[in-house]
Amino acid sequence: MSKLSDSKVITCKAVVCWGIGEALKLEEIKIEPPKSTEVRVKILYASVCHTDLLYTDGFPAPAFPRVLGHEGVGVVESVGEEVTDVKAGDFVIPTYVAQCEDCENCVSGKTNLCLKYPIPLSGLMTDGTSRMSARGQRLYHTISCSTWSEYMVVDAIYVLKIDPSIIDLPHASFLSCGFSTGFGAAWKEAGVERGSSVAVLGLGAVGLGAVEGASKQGAARIIGIDKNERKRTKGKAFGMTDFLNPDKYDHKSISQLVKELTDGTGVDYCFECTGAPPLINESLLAIKMGKGQAIVIGAGNYPTVKISSQPLLLGGTLKGSIFGGLKAKTDLPVIIDKCKNKEIQLDELLSHEISLEDADKVFDLMKHPDCVKILIKL
């Protein structure tokens, strides 16, 4: 099926969060046909990101009921009449950052945030409506899409066509957000130079992506920081040179520990991958005076952050980054090519594989000390 006129409402299964604090439920939902600029996708694999957990807590706004998931890979089932970049049968991954290539931001070379198609935080389609419903209620997306569902509708500007002969489909799901965010932050956002020093706070998929990105950029020292001792081995697999477990140092802050490892100067780049306010400040305190950059790439459900002013006055930079500064159309294909050439080993990320029927247990799995990335097979 490819033509809009042929499309019918599809009934399928999806994981729904009905409200803050409520357990996830596998529900039968209805998926409407795509409108003119949209595509309907049959999801093959989805994966779990920490941001999905934040959405169950009402981030960025408490819009419920919501179908979770923003990482995934699938095959296009049908398209709207104005869609030209993809067709039925194409394999795609969702992206929550668009690239129109025409707006002021897209042509500036300074940001990956498109003005014409901003990040969709309302949980609805670009026309303010939804293509999903359950029990007679409208369902909200997670950012631009909902991958914990057998089918989803998404605006075509938020998908990227991929070649399944180049990258394994389960691995492609990991590129929709977490790993790409970290890798891109070191590559595109910071532009880590050869021989530089790097610290990474939090060694989940985002942090490991930052470690890998810094390693590929030629960083001489990459300090991974995590309270989970098991991340020591995982971090080294991605290029980490030093590991710090702050729980083993009762009377020293993370920034103190980083400076002790760098002869008191701090690092050139510090990537904060958790979104926790105290760690954002520690990342700023851990950078070099005059030239260091602290880059926040982890999402957190906190409206304000208290930071120290002295590192800023002394020339340090604190900045945020969405999707690691990556542009979907021009930068993600480069990462996919690196996967094809075995420069990036995404299989190291996979720790758990479950079915959609067991997806209501994902947040419990995330607490497992060996958990890095959970794959949902649909």
What pLDDT shows up at residue 61? 87
Is the distance from CB of 220 to CB of 195 less than 8 angstroms?
Answer: yes
H helix runs in 228-373, sequence order: 231-237, 254-261, 277-285, 310-313, 332-340, 362-365
Per-position DSSP letters for 98-160, written without gaps between them = ---SSSHHHHHSS-S--SSS----SSS-TTS--SEEETTEE-B-BTTB--SBSEEEEEGGGEE
**Sequence-separated contacts (24+) of 133-139 with Cβ below 8 Å:** 133/29, 133/30, 133/32, 134/14, 134/16, 134/27, 134/28, 134/29, 134/30, 134/65, 135/27, 137/65, 139/14, 139/16, 139/29, 139/65, 139/66, 139/67
182-322, CATH topology level: Rossmann fold (3.40.50)
Is the distance from CB of 156 to CB of 37 less than 8 angstroms?
Answer: yes
Within the chain, what is the greatest distance between any pair of CA atoms? Answer: 67
pTM: 0.95
For residue 198 the two structure tokens come to 């790097």
For β-strands 25-31 and 132-134, DSSP reports them as antiparallel
Reading the chain (378 residues) residue by residue, the pLDDT tens digits are 445 546 799 999 999 999 998 999 999 999 999 999 999 999 999 999 999 999 999 998 899 999 999 999 999 999 999 999 999 999 999 999 999 999 999 999 999 999 999 999 999 999 999 999 999 999 999 999 999 999 999 999 999 999 999 999 999 999 999 999 999 999 999 999 999 999 999 999 999 999 999 999 999 999 999 999 999 999 999 999 999 999 999 889 999 999 999 999 999 999 999 999 999 999 999 999 999 999 999 999 888 999 999 999 999 999 999 999 999 999 999 999 999 998 998 999 999 999 999 998 999 999 999 999 999 999
Q: How far apart are CA 18 and CA 241, in angstroms?
A: 43
Phi, psi of 205 (to 5 degrees): -60, -40
CA distances from 64 to 143, 147, 273 (A): 13, 16, 27
Q: How far apart are CA 17 and CA 29, in angstroms?
A: 13
Q: Is 77 helix (H, G, I), strand (E, B) or coil?
A: strand
Q: How far apart are CA 150 and CA 202, in angstroms?
A: 31
Q: Is 311 helix (H, G, I), strand (E, B) or coil?
A: helix
> What dihedral angle (degrees, nearest 10) is formed by the CA atoms of 130, 16, 52, 91?
-60
| CATH code 3.40.50.720 region(s) in the chain | 182-322
Q: How far apart are CA 357 and CA 377, in angstroms?
A: 9
| CATH code 3.90.180.10 region(s) in the chain | 4-176+345-377
What architecture does CATH give domain 4-176+345-377? Alpha-Beta Complex (3.90)
Residue 126 CB burial class (10 angstroms; 0-12, 13-18, ≥19): middle
Q: How far apart are CA 1 and CA 123, in angstroms?
A: 27
Is the distance from CB of 246 to CB of 254 less than 8 angstroms?
Answer: yes
